[in-house]
Amino acid sequence: MNETLQTRLKSLSEAVGVSGDESEVRKLILEQIKDQVSSVIIDAMGSITARKAGTSPTPLRLMIAAHMDEIGFMITGCDSGIAQVMGIGDHDARFSAAKRVSVGSGKTPGMLLWAPIHKSYGQKSLPEPDDMTIDLGAGSAAVGDRAAYQGQFAVMGEHTLRGKALESRAPCAVLIDLLLGDALPVDLLPAFTVQHHIGARGARTAAYRLRPDAAIVLRAVECNDLPPEGDRDSSERAARFPLIRLGGGPALVASEAPYVTHRNLFRLTRELAQQAGIPYQIDALNLSHRTEGEVISATAAGIPTITIGIPVRYSSSPNGLVDVRDLEHTAALLRVLGARLTAESLQE
Amino acid sequence: MPDKALIRTLVEAWGPSGYEYQVRALIQKEVQNLADEIRTDAGGNLICRMGSGGKKIMIAAHMDEIGFIIHHIDPQGFARFSMIGGLFSSTLNGGRVKLENGMIGVIGLDGEPNPYRTGTATLGDFFLDFTGAGASERVQVGDVGAMWRSMDVQGSRVIAKSLDDRIGCVVAIEAMRRLKGVALSNTLYFVFTTQEEVGIRGARVSAFGIAPDMAIALDVTPTDDIPKARNASVKIGKGAAIKAMDAGHIVPPAVRDLMIKRAESAGIPYQIDVMTIGTTDAAAIQMTGSGIPSGAISIPSRYVHTTSEMVDLDDVEACVKLLIEVVEKPLEAV
Amino acid sequence: MDLKQHLKTLVEQHGPSGFEAPVGRVIQEAWSPLVDSLEIGKSGSLIALKRGTQTDSSDGTRRRIMLCAHMDEIGMIVREVRGTFLKVSRLGGIDARILPGLPVLVHGREPVPGLIGIVPQPTLSSENQGVYAALDDLYVDLCLPPERVAALVRVGDPITVDLPMIELGNGLLVGKAMDDRACVAAITACLEQLQSRKHEWDVLAVAAVQEETGSRGAAVEAYHLQPDIAIALDVTYGQQPGVSGADVHKLGGNPPLSLGANFHPALFEAIKAASERLELTLPIDPLPGHSGTDAWVIQTAREGIPSALLNIPIRNMHTAIETVDLKDIERAGRVLTEFITGLKPDFLSAIQWDKAPSEKDSQEGEKKDE
């Protein structure tokens, strides 16, 4: 397994950066990229933008965005070690019962309280994150402190990494990998953005500042590859949702409704992947929330944008899974794109 | 291969829980010349000893079947009943019930035919029709009945009522036949038990009396190979099922592993049985006295507790072979 | 002994119902320097004997008290192997709602780490939106190629949650399997204190198997050991938001002592008196009927055994964040020690029910017992 990538992802995954409070992750990333880039700016919202100069005399300016933030909670009150919270981001509450969290900058351990099964039997409907409470024991938390899930980072099997917030930190790790590598013909304009989980807000200001010729959004796509339930309810699921497999390669997102990926950029990316022998899969998402692709593509006078997804299983869980080969293949695909992207290829 | 005539004799016999005497007599006739000692204990269990010395191993298969007990009969001959053991209302309508005296009652459902029925029928909605057969003289409150249907064989599949657990009895008898004259390393107690369907009651008392070092129950287990099955782990026709767990019993890993080892070394097809509904005589035996390490060999069976239970003869044969492999040789420490 | 470290070792070890051997070995290691002999019962329960100073009575009998805490934990068992994934059934009363996202260990031919997965939320049918996943909906994700899974895991292998114990501060400890290893730790504390305290009665310390699947270990070991009296130790509900009832107790408020049909009232009083000698007030835990603990089956073993139940409150019972106050464990140990050291040879006559109508009747009764 790629040890460098593994170590980098571990430190990123274990850092806490709930939407609106991404500083720990930001510091970690700045430390790693500072010698490789110029024009580092931390914008008014907290996103990082920078430039890694291209080798071409007239380099195309290519923005690559990855968000730093994760879902979590904000403390709204604390009495006798029991804290009230509000949810931050799109929680899947199926994962939240009786989980361990870290609270505040000191990462005080806390527990999402859960009534014993003997006393809560039959309760099937999911709670709102705002109705959850955190047990801090004798500890305390200040109003406004953020809390994030505690993950248990580990290597599983031969190629898989387990940990929290991989949906955000795996794309960050790939983007760092790209910046630490050799310069490409294009100008690489990395944007490590904030507040993805509350409306892709950091991507908007970063894109406005950079005004690139084209943009790539790096993000996670949720795998849909659990084996069907025999002859049970599988057909419906398979028919309605694209099959995205862990280890199947980067997912080229053809559309994130209501936004449709730039047609030529999508075709080019697919052709380049085929030529380079990089495995890939195609995703088409029907999402209710706003995405970076949608936001960036409509920034300023419009920016040709493609979203490339890294397959993640259980992305909203305290522990998600990524396949290291998917990360490597994504980095390889970005390098090919950086080498082959031209102004002509973007024209209609 | 297993003796199909013996299977037919036993499954078509009448013997709801507590009324196993007809089945017991049939089995006693079969094993009379096979065992070194035969007795019937106070619980009605038929206990057959083979060999002496070594460890005491109890092998339990229950003789009883689920049934009906009449609690009311009206002047026309429609009887209402309570259940003996687990009757499922979805499997009853149109079935037949045989009483101890041979009377046949048809199971009917209130108000049928009724295409507009909503909801699930409960047992109270069913009745037994004894009309037109001199019911008033021949049927009384308290009479006990069993489901009735004759056996069919189709390929390697046997389809019959009461394969639960007469097929377990057949496995035991078949093993006794093959062990006759063999020098045994252990003292084997083949026990044909009573009242399994109403709370594994016969096995409990017979185990207390025998106080064996180890026990093996022989019983059917449901399969997960029909559409939308989800409470079982085994498939019909895939070999003897070695129990790991059921709703009443976790088999000690040492007992389970011993069975697996013996199956593998003898090349007997086997599968591991994890079921979340129901249990076997082994659940009671393990809890008897100071505790008795117990396991179970299960015969995969579809449609358990209906009149068309289905087993595969190849599975039955595998169970016989596995049982012999386990009990014939000395036991390693369990 | 460092009680906190001992508890950490206990709860981080694995031992689901029916598969308690690994945790049994850890307890055996802790108890063996503290007792005179150890045996493993037919059920797999661990039985330790610490002999008291009493002399054998004329008929060779000795007075014996049984302390019983269960060592099994709730878990899962493999029902089906499906490629990289496993489908599971319950071992004990595990709560499927708390499982998604948790790391687990599959106890196959070698331990295999897994993660509990569920299908993506958008792919759920409309009636499954907004509700918790049920056990049948869970996948144990092993991240291994199917042929590797097939070589390592069989139907029937047990699975447990795999999370370390952590500390919340102020003595609150969080981990899996506090139910009932916290009580095993209390017995260890008692056995350790008894090293330097004189006691006349023999002490039978039992770490029982399969409580979570129906108190199967305690039932057969109580029959096997025939103690004169027994104290079962189990966890009870700790105070927390959203949980109410008379059986809910404050963490750190001393171990509650249960009162009800399952418990001999005179034994209850005697334990209460022992705690008062330590200036500890034990909250009363009213349990009119079934206690849901090993005490229920111990009481009815053989001709009946006077039984009591000492509790340790925990929050979030049957989850991977069972939370306990170390003070309660330590105090439960001290109450046991004080009670045992106070046991006189004639204690049984002190806990008689109403006096028998006449000498003659009671003699007949005794004869019948023989």
A316 in contact with C at a CB cutoff of 8 Å? yes
The set of catalytic residues of B is: 196
Q: What is the pTM of this model?
A: 0.87
Determine whether the interchain pair B233/C21 forms a contact, defined as Cβ–Cβ distance below 8 Å: no
Mark out the alpha helices in chain A (DSSP H runs): 3-14, 23-33, 117-120, 166-180, 201-210, 234-240, 263-276, 292-297, 324-340, 343-346
Q: Give B1 or B16, the one with higher predicted confidence.
A: B16
Pair A241, A175 in one domain: yes
Q: Which residue numbers of B have CB closer than 8 Å to A's CBs?
A: 227-228
Domain C3-73+176-350 = CATH 3.40.630.10: yes
Domain hosting residue B94, numbered range: 67-147
Task: Tell me the pLDDT of chain A averaged across its residues.
Answer: 91
- Fold of the C75-161 domain: Elongation Factor Tu (Ef-tu); domain 3 (2.40.30)
Residue B154 falls within a domain, yes or no?
Answer: no
Domain count for chain B, please give it.
2
Question: Within chain C, which residues score under 50 in pLDDT?
Answer: 362-370
Answer yes or no: do B73 and B47 share one domain: no
A287 — pLDDT class (breaks 50, 70, 90):
low
Q: How high is the ipTM of this complex?
A: 0.88
In this prediction, residues A271-289 reach a mean pLDDT of: 86
Tell me what pLDDT residue A229 has: 55
CA distance linking residue C96 with residue C98, whole number of Å = 6
pLDDT for residue A238: 53
Domain identity same for B61 and B71? no
User: Number of folded domains in chain A?
Assistant: 2
Task: Look at residues C184, C298, C312 and name the one whose alpha carbon lies nearest to residue C231.
Answer: C298
Q: What residues have CB less than 8 Å from C225, skipping those under 6 apart? A: C47, C64, C66, C204, C206
Q: B112: domain CATH number?
A: 2.40.30.40
Torsion of CA A142, A145, A149, A151, to 10 degrees: -90
pLDDT of residue B219: 98
The order of strands in the sheet holding B152-154 is: B152-154, B157-160, B309-312
B248 in C contact zone (CB under 8 Å): yes
What's the pLDDT band for A258 if we cut at 50, 70, 90? Answer: low
User: Is cis: bond before B113, omega within 30 of 0?
Assistant: yes
d(CA C292, CA C215): 9
Return the pLDDT at A232.
43
Please name the residue of chain B whose CA is at the shortest distance from the CA of residue C221: B290
- Which chain C residues contact residue B286 at CB under 8 A? 43, 216, 220
Burial A104-125 (b: 16+ CB within 10 A, else e): beebbbbbbbbbbbebeeeeee
How far is the CA of B176 from the CAs of B44, B59, B305, C346, in angstroms?
Answer: 20, 11, 27, 55
Residue C57: the pLDDT is: 83
C321 and A114 in contact by Cβ < 8 A? Answer: yes
Nearest CA in chain A to B228: A232
- Give the closest-approach CA distance of B259 to chain A in angstroms: 29
pLDDT for the residue numbered A348:
67
Q: Which residue has the higher pLDDT, B266 or C357?
A: B266
Q: What is the DSSP letter of A288?
A: S
Co-location of A94 and A233 in the same domain = no
pLDDT value of residue B238? 97
Whether residue B57 is contained in a domain is answered as: yes
Q: How confident is the model at residue B228 (pLDDT cuts 50, 70, 90)?
A: confident
Residue A257 has pLDDT above 90, yes or no: no
Q: Does B225 touch chain C (CB under 8 A)?
A: no
Chain A nearest-CA residue for C251: A137
Instruction: Of A20-29, A81-90, B61-70, C360-369, give the lowest mean pLDDT range.
Output: C360-369
In degrees, rounded to 5, the angle at the alpha carbon of residue A247 between the alpha carbons of residues A245 and A249 is 85
Query: Are A329 and A287 contained in the same domain?
Result: yes
Q: Taking the CB of residue B211, how many other CB atoms lie within 10 A of it?
A: 12
> Which tens digit of pLDDT belongs to each residue from C68-127?
999 999 999 999 999 999 999 999 999 999 999 999 999 999 999 999 999 998 888 888
A window 85-114, beta carbon within 8 A of B = none
| pLDDT score at A286 | 62
Pair C175, C166: CB distance under 8 Å: yes
Q: Cβ A115–C103 below 8 Å, yes or no?
A: no
Taking the domains of chain C in order of start, what are their residue ranges?
Answer: 3-73+176-350, 75-161
Pseudo-torsion of CA B208, B210, B214, B220, nearest 10°?
-80
The CATH number covering residue B38 comes to: 3.40.630.10
Residue C123 is nearest to which of A82, A124, A224, comparing CB atoms? A224
- Verify that A109 and A158 share a domain, yes or no: no
User: Among residues 280-319 of chain B, which lie with CB inside 8 Å of chain C?
Assistant: 286-293
Q: Tens of pLDDT along B109-144?
A: 998 888 877 777 888 899 999 998 787 788 988 899
Confidence of residue A289 (pLDDT cuts 50, 70, 90): low
Whether residue A231 is predicted with pLDDT greater than 80 in this model: the reply is no
The Cα–Cα gap between B253 and B234 comes to: 18
pLDDT at site C100: 98
Task: Give me the residues of A, 170-209, that contact C with CB < 8 A.
Answer: none
- Say whether both A277 and A135 belong to one domain: no
CB pairs under 8 A between A and B: 4
% of chain A residues with pLDDT over 90:
77
Same domain for A133 and A265:
no
CATH number, domain of A115, equals 2.40.30.40
Q: Taking residues A127-134, what's their average pLDDT?
A: 92
Contact indicator for C273, C195 with CB cutoff of 8 Å: no
C359: left (phi over 0), alpha (psi -120 to 50) or beta: alpha
Asked if residue B282 and residue B191 are part of one domain, the reply reads yes
| φ, ψ (nearest 5 deg) of residue C250 | -70, 135
Could you list the residue range(s) of the whole structural domain that residue A184 is in?
3-70+153-346
- Average pLDDT (A282-294) is 77
